Amino acid sequence: MDFEHSAKAREYIERVRRFMADEIEPMESEYHRRMGELDNPWVVLPEIEELKAKAREQGLWNMFLPEPEYGPGLSNLEYAPVAELSGRSAIAPEIFNCNAPDTGNMEVLVKYGDEAQQERWLKPLLAGEIRSGFAMTEPDVASSDATNMEATCELDGDEVVLNGRKWWTTNAGHPNCEVFIFMGVTDPEAGRHSRHSMVLVPVDAPGVRIERMLTSMGHLDAPSGHGEVVFDQVRVPRENIIAGPGRGFEIAQGRLGPGRIHHCMRLIGAAEMALERMCERSLSREAFGKPLADLGGNRERIAEARVAIEQARLLTLKAAWMIDEKGVKAAMSEISQIKVVAPRVALEVIDMAMQMHGGGGLSQDYPLAAAWAGARSLRLADGPDEVHRALIAKMELARYKNP
């Protein structure tokens, strides 16, 4: 395992760090204040588009894609510290066109999309002109088990007919959201892993109905948001199926590998941001005649936060390195490991930082509460902790079973 930053990685780390310090950090809290005051928050404020243009101009764009034709072509290991930096901010990922779920959707189209699909959807996504959603999770079943899925996409001549109810479709509220990747059952008789298909569905296709926006731990996460979306006899051309019928499960697996650790990288950044704020607060506030840092167990908590972050970062790097060097399949245990660890560490550190901030820590004045809510959702999104632990144990025990 060689985690040494390459020259390219060092360059991008430095440029992203500077961009964040010069362009994003100075405007972020004011941005959130303004968003918080909007009657209709489902809009993109002009400063976001300006920063996107600037980032794109500087080549700080699509950095998540390892394929060099779409951006700098960073490996997962190289991208890790860059994504970590972007994770310090709630808006940076979008500004760098590196935000979920668009990143995962772009990966799908890069790897599995045909030329027409890429032309129509990948191109504007890469350009940051449109946004996209991933319609997989369903409200009525435990979606951690894909075989529970109830939505259907039936082939009907040249068309495919979609029916079902999905939720937690992130970006469903975004004014620029133009397409969903819908997952449903094409052939219930087929094998467990070949009965699903993924289909590209324009948001304005007849029968697509965004019923409402969900809150996640109280947060709307506007303007992206998380939608509950009904697909009611939606008809799209058969060529909207990605990679052909029956390949949905395979694509989902591929999609979630790097995507999962991108989340983790960003969570490390969020935790690091929280620790910084915790330290600053502990030195600047006083109670009972001392800075908070010198009261009770506060220093021990700071130490524990540092220790937890260091370990989580190293495990993220290992998982990234494994994906780069051995492939997603060989890295499955490591991916699940970091998927369990990173949200937990982020939640712990952010929680400590909130506590050190008193009531303010829970309010909209600091990015902590929103970061906490985001980290909490990642104990469920892309597979709940419990499923990942089951997978880790399965792979661990497999070493001992006789042939």
Assess 139 for contact with its own copies (CB under 8 A).
yes
| Cβ 159 to its own copies shortest distance, Å | 30
Per-residue interface string for the shown chain with its own copies, residues 142-181, x marking contact by CB under 8 A: xxxx--x------------------xx-------------
Assess 8 for contact with its own copies (CB under 8 A).
no
Q: Which is nearer to its own copies, 128 or 269 (CB)?
A: 269
Assess 400 for contact with its own copies (CB under 8 A).
yes
| Cβ 340 to its own copies shortest distance, Å | 6
Give the Cα separation of 332 and 154 in Å (integer): 32
Smallest CA-to-CA distance from 180 within 153, 201, 204 is with 201
Assess 341 for contact with its own copies (CB under 8 A).
yes
Q: Is residue 243 within 8 Å of residue 176, measured between CB atoms?
A: no
* Cα Rg, the chain, nearest whole Å: 21
Assess 32 for contact with its own copies (CB under 8 A).
no
Assess 41 for contact with its own copies (CB under 8 A).
no
Between helix 332-356 and helix 385-398 the angle, nearest 10°, is: 140
Exactly one of 131, 153, 372, 375 binds its own copies (CB under 8 A); that residue is 372
Q: Which is nearer to its own copies, 55 or 82 (CB)?
A: 82
Residue 134: both structure tokens together: 């991933």
Assess 224 for contact with its own copies (CB under 8 A).
no
Q: Which is nearer to its own copies, 196 or 318 (CB)?
A: 318
Among 127-135, 157-165, 177-185, 354-362, the segment contacting its own copies (CB under 8 A)? 354-362
Give the Cα separation of 277 and 357 in Å (integer): 9
Assess 76 for contact with its own copies (CB under 8 A).
no
Q: Which is nearer to its own copies, 17 or 54 (CB)?
A: 17
Q: Is residue 1 within 8 Å of residue 76, measured between CB atoms?
A: no
Q: Is 231 helix (H, G, I), strand (E, B) or coil?
A: strand
Residues 265-324 that bind its own copies (CB under 8 A): 275, 279-280, 282-283, 285-288, 292-293, 295-304, 306-307, 310-312, 314-315, 317-318
- The DSSP string of 261-316 is HHHHHHHHHHHHHHHHHHHHHHHH-EETTEEGGGSTTHHHHHHHHHHHHHHHHHHH
Assess 29 for contact with its own copies (CB under 8 A).
no
* Residues in CB range of 81: below 8 A, 6 or more apart: 5, 9, 13, 265
Residues 374-393 that bind its own copies (CB under 8 A): 376-377, 379-381, 384-386, 388-393
Q: Is 59 helix (H, G, I), strand (E, B) or coil?
A: coil
